[in-house]
Amino acid sequence: EETIIVQDGLYWMEAIRSGATGLDNLTNHVDYIRIDESSNRAGYRWEPVPAKAGDNHLFLPGGAEIIGLMSMPVQADLVGPMMIRNWPQVDTQSGEYNYIRAKVRAITGSAVDQAEFARDMAFSYRLTSEVRPVRTVEDWAGYDGTVVGNVNKFRKLNFYEVKLTFEWPVFEFDGKESVGPNKRVFRSMVSGRLVNRQVNRLMPDWNTGQFPENPHSPFFFFEPLKFSTPKYVAQ
C-alpha cells in the first residue's frame, strides 16, 4: 500500500503542477470529489456518473474537470458549485476555506484492481488537495509601499504551495464511509500563474488550443511557463 501511495502521489502532484487536461482515464479511478466550504455545511459533490432526476451530485465527464477541481485554491470564493467570485485575488487572509477531498481507487498497483468488477474490493484512499499562494513579507511585516507591494502581489499570483494528503484505506462500516489511520503528505511549489478556464470541449480557444479562460469557472489549471501581473488583479 505504501508503494502505491508513493507512486500515485507523484502522479497526482505532476498532473496538478502541469495543469494536465487530457487525463480522462482518471474517471475510472475517482469515485467522487467533494468540496465543502467553511460557510456552507451542505457542500458540493461531483461524480463521473451522469446525474439523474433526484440525484444530488454534479457530473464529472473527464480528467480536465477532475484536475481543475483538485487545483482550486483553498481561499477561492466559491459561490455555488459552478461559480467563482473575485478571482484572481491577492488577499491570502480570506475568511473562506474550501475543503477539497476525493475518493480514489489506486491508479497504480495490480491490474486486477483496475477492472470494473473489482471496484468494491479495490484499494482506495482519500485525497485532500490544498493549493494556496505563498505568504510573503508583506503579510507578516505590513509593508505597503508601491514597489514592495507590487512585488509581493506578483509573488502571490505566481508562487503557490501544493499540499496533497493521502489517507487510507477507505472502507464502508455500518453504512458509513470511514478512513484508516495511515497518512502521507506530499508538498511541492509551483512557479507560474493559476488560471480558471471554462471546460468546454466543443468551444476551445482556437488561438491556443486550450479551454477559454473564465474568471468565474471553478476549474483551475497551472501554467508553469506563464506569469500574471498585479495590474490585472482585483484588489
Sign of CA dihedral 41, 101, 199, 97: positive
Cα(53)–Cα(49) distance, integer angstroms: 13
Average pLDDT over residues 134-141: 61
- Least reliable range by pLDDT among 9-18, 142-151, 174-183: 142-151
- Least reliable range by pLDDT among 99-103, 134-138, 166-170: 134-138
pLDDT in tens, 172-225: 888 899 999 999 999 999 999 999 999 987 776 666 668 999 989 999 999 998
Cα(50)–Cα(130) distance, integer angstroms: 27
Give domain limits for the chain: 2-232
Residue that has been written with the C-alpha cell 489511520 in this structure: 181
Distances in Å between the alpha carbon of 179 and those of 102, 120, 124, 176, 228? 12, 15, 9, 10, 39
Specify the higher pLDDT residue, 42 or 143.
42
- Answer whether residue 234 shows pLDDT above 50: no
For strands 58-59 and 40-47, give the pairing. Answer: parallel
- Per the structure block, which three cell numbers stand in for 163? 499540499
Alpha helices, H only, the chain = 2-17, 63-70, 137-141, 146-158
pLDDT of residue 231: 52
* Structure confidence at residue 235 as a pLDDT band (50, 70, 90): very low
Asked if 212 and 203 count as a contact pair (C-beta separation under 8 A), the reply is yes
Cα(132)–Cα(115) distance, integer angstroms: 35
CB neighbours of residue 53 within 10 Å: 4
- Per the structure block, which three cell numbers stand in for 108? 497504480
Task: Report which DSSP code applies to 109.
Answer: S
Cα–Cα–Cα angle for 72, 113, 115, nearest 5°?
A: 90
Cα(230)–Cα(234) distance, integer angstroms: 9
For strands 98-105 and 30-37, give the pairing. Answer: antiparallel
Cα(169)–Cα(228) distance, integer angstroms: 39
Task: Report which DSSP code applies to 209.
Answer: S
pLDDT in tens, 163-183: 999 999 999 888 899 999 999
Q: What is the pTM of this model?
A: 0.87
